[in-house]
């Protein structure tokens, strides 16, 4: 049994997280329920931040809030002294309502609207990560109208794409994001920014992929960006204050995954960046990174109640839970894999193999195929691990299923941070054609 973070089994033989009995949580808050291990989030945040401090490198670790955004989550990130990456007006609004310091907010997105940019300018955020010429022009005209100056990074596609264990070098990067580093687009963006009184160009950004288990791809991307910075230093006397290497650090969803610790990612990458900057005779810029999944992914566990069973003789047994693709769409979307245990007996021998089905009207609504599991009965609580990133964030109301509640647990205490949606909430925006009951 692999326990994540502070999870363990108590004297009753129940799964605990943050010293709180998960069966008690399921009873008190209902299921499906997302449970976040706050100590593990803090540990990860410190793992990244303190490594930069130890290496004497000025840095910003910006939590990619697309992984899981809520007021409480953002307040926790603020407690840990991290920065914040947002990609929409909604994520920005959440940050504002959480009271997150404006200067540590970075605004991403490949199609920011005038309303979103205006909200960000009014709040005085620290940096726009500019993705394309349309955005640069829009930002410039809004800044001129408001007579303010915006700090920006230019997002580039360095021609490297990394996924899990692989990275591939792609000649002409085929991506909807960013300016191509090699075909002249990035240089045109640089010229545009440097000749613009309303924009302050701080440096470059790239994000090469997700669930990456090696540092090679990050280092290759950094190398390409540093090469370009050296050319631009020579040609335009441009000195980059910031080099943002994005997020994508991998986590362990199943035993096939072999992530490395945050400190190792940072040490490896920084060592190489320092060396390359030195070789080019450039000053070391501030390093920014944007972890999402690696801060919250394995800190999240979803509790479900087991309901119906269907046996297909000689083929498989389906065990259905009270959630599914409405609270975790990743298996259907990406074929994502998870591990799970029966939370009321996590240590029991796993003598059966079952497939965990959701309750949505969709054959593809399967959470886990062929899971080794102890004998399960209706009413047992299933704990699916590692659901903290892109789980609640991608939750939806398919079949008009209400979204689950979210609790934070730490040192024996549980606090509700997102309430369970009610049927009334589901109808909140409906406008009837006729008078209703
Ligand atoms: C620009 C950018 N930064 C950071 C992230 C966070 O990635 P991860 O959650 O894999 O760390 C993403 C994810 O899509 C991204 O697009």
Q: Are residues 203 and 305 in the same domain?
A: no
For residue 293, the ligand 1 atom closest to its alpha carbon is 9
- In the annotated binding site for pyridoxal 5'-phosphate, the residues are 248, 290-293, 390
For residue 53, tell me if it sits in a domain. Answer: no
Write out the chain in H/E/C secondary structure.
Answer: CCCCCCCEECCCCCEEECCEEHHHHHHHHCCCEEEEEHHHHHHHHHHHHHHHHHHCCCEEEEEEHHHCCCHHHHHHHHHCCCEEEECCHHHHHHHHHCCCCHHHEEECCCCCCHHHHHHHHHHCCCEEEECCHHHHHHHHHHHHHHCCCEEEEEEEECCEEEEECEEEECCCCCCCCCEECCCCHHHHHHHHHHCCCCEEEEEEECCCCCCECCCHHHHHHHHHHHHHHHHHHHHHCCCCCEEECCCCECCCCCCCCCCCCHHHHHHHHHHHHHHHHHHCCCCCCEEEECCCHHHHCCCEEEEEEEEEEEEECCCEEEEEECCCCCCCCHHHHHCCCCCEEECCCCCCCCCEEEEEECCCCCCCCEEEEEEEECCCCCCCEEEEECCCCCCHHHCCCHHHCCCCEEEEEECCEEEEEECCCCHHHHCCCCCCCCCCC
CATH number at residue 24: 2.40.37.10
The count of domains in the chain is 2
Q: Would the CB of 246 count as within 6 Å of ligand 1?
A: yes
Q: Are residues 285 and 305 in the same domain?
A: no
Residue nearest to atom 4 of ligand 1 (CA): 247
DSSP bridge pairs for 352: 373
Active-site residue 143, yes or no?
A: no
Helix axes 89-97, 71-79, angle to 10 degrees: 60
Q: Which domain holds residue 310?
A: 8-37+297-427
Q: Are residues 251 and 346 in the same domain?
A: no
For residue 76, tell me if it sits in a domain. Answer: no
For residue 331, tell me if it sits in a domain. Answer: yes
- From CA 126, how far away is CA 435, in angstroms rounded? 48
Q: Would the CB of 5 count as within 6 Å of ligand 1?
A: no
Q: Are residues 257 and 315 in the same domain?
A: no
Measure 292 CA to ligand 1 centroid, in angstroms.
Answer: 6
Q: Would the CB of 391 count as within 6 Å of ligand 1?
A: no
Q: Would the CB of 47 count as within 6 Å of ligand 1?
A: no
Q: Which of 291, 316, 333 is the last residue in one of the domains? A: 291
Q: Would the CB of 297 count as within 6 Å of ligand 1?
A: no
Q: Are residues 275 and 342 in the same domain?
A: no
Residue 405 near residue 53 (C-beta atoms within 8 A): no
Q: Are residues 243 and 271 in the same domain?
A: yes
What are the pLDDT tens digits along the chain (437 aa)? 789 999 999 999 999 999 999 999 999 999 999 999 999 999 999 999 999 999 999 999 999 999 999 999 999 999 999 999 999 999 999 999 999 999 999 999 999 999 999 999 999 999 999 999 999 999 999 999 999 999 999 999 998 878 766 666 664 567 888 999 988 999 999 999 999 999 999 999 999 999 999 999 999 999 999 999 999 999 999 999 999 999 999 999 999 999 999 999 999 999 999 999 999 999 999 999 999 999 999 999 999 999 999 999 999 999 999 999 999 999 999 899 999 999 999 999 999 999 999 999 999 999 999 999 999 999 999 999 999 999 999 999 999 999 999 999 999 999 999 999 999 999 999 999 998 77
Q: Are residues 150 and 282 in the same domain?
A: yes
Q: Are residues 284 and 309 in the same domain?
A: no
Phi, psi of 374 (to 5 degrees): -70, 165
Q: Which of 291, 326, 345 is the last residue in one of the domains? A: 291
Q: Minimal CA–CA distance to 161: which of 102, 211, 125, 113?
A: 211
Q: Are residues 312 and 402 in the same domain?
A: yes
Q: Are residues 241 and 354 in the same domain?
A: no
Measure 63 CA to ligand 1 centroid, in angstroms.
Answer: 9
Q: Which of 291, 312, 334 is the last residue in one of the domains? A: 291
Q: Would the CB of 109 count as within 6 Å of ligand 1?
A: no
Measure 225 CA to ligand 1 centroid, in angstroms.
Answer: 18
Q: Hey, what are 152's tokens? A: 């920006």
Count of alpha carbons within 13 Å of 102, Cβ hemisphere only?
9
For residue 129, the ligand 1 atom closest to its alpha carbon is 1
Measure 422 CA to ligand 1 centroid, in angstroms.
Answer: 31
């Amino acid at each position: 049994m692999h326990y994540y973070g502070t999870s363990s089994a108590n004297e009753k033989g129940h799964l605990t997280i943050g010293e709180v009995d998960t069966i008690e949580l399921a009873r008190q808050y209902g299921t499906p329920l997302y449970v976040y291990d706050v100590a593990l989030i803090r540990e990860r945040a410190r793992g990244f931040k303190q490594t930069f401090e130890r290496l004497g490198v000025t840095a910003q670790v910006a939590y990619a809030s697309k992984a899981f955004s809520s007021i409480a989550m953002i307040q926790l990130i603020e407690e840990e002294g991290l920065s914040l990456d947002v990609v929409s007006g909604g994520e920005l609004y959440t940050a504002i309502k959480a009271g997150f310091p404006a200067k540590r907010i970075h605004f991403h997105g490949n199609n920011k609207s005038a309303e979103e940019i205006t909200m960000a300018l009014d709040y005085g955020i620290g940096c726009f990560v500019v993705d394309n010429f349309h955005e640069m022009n829009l930002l410039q005209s809004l800044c001129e109208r408001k007579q303010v100056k915006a700090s920006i990074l230019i997002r580039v596609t360095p021609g490297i794409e990394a996924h899990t264990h692989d990275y591939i070098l792609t000649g002409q990067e085929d991506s909807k994001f960013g300016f191509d580093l090699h075909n002249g687009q990035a240089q045109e963006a640089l010229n545009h920014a440097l000749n613009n009184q309303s924009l302050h160009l701080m440096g470059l950004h790239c994000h090469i992929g997700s669930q990456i288990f090696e540092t090679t791809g990050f280092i290759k991307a950094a190398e390409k960006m540093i090469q370009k910075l050296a050319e631009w230093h020579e040609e335009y006397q441009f000195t980059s204050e910031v080099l943002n290497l994005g997020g994508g650090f991998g986590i362990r969803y199943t035993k096939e995954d072999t992530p490395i610790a945050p400190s190792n990612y940072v040490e490896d990458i920084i060592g190489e960046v320092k060396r390359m900057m030195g070789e080019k005779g450039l000053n070391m810029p501030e390093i920014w990174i944007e972890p999402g999944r690696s801060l919250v992914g394995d800190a999240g566990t979803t509790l479900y109640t087991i309901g119906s069973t269907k046996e297909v003789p000689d083929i498989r047994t389906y065990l259905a839970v009270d959630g599914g693709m409405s609270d975790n769409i990743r298996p259907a979307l990406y074929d994502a894999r998870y591990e799970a245990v029966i939370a009321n007996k996590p240590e029991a021998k796993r003598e059966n193999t079952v497939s965990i089905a959701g309750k949505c009207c969709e054959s593809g609504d399967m959470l886990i195929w062929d899971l080794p599991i102890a004998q399960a009965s209706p009413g047992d609580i299933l704990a699916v691990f590692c659901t903290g990133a892109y789980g609640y964030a991608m939750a939806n109301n398919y079949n008009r299923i209400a979204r689950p509640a979210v609790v934070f647990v730490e040192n024996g205490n549980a606090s509700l941070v997102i309430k369970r949606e009610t049927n009334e909430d589901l109808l909140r925006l409906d406008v009837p054609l006729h008078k209703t009951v």
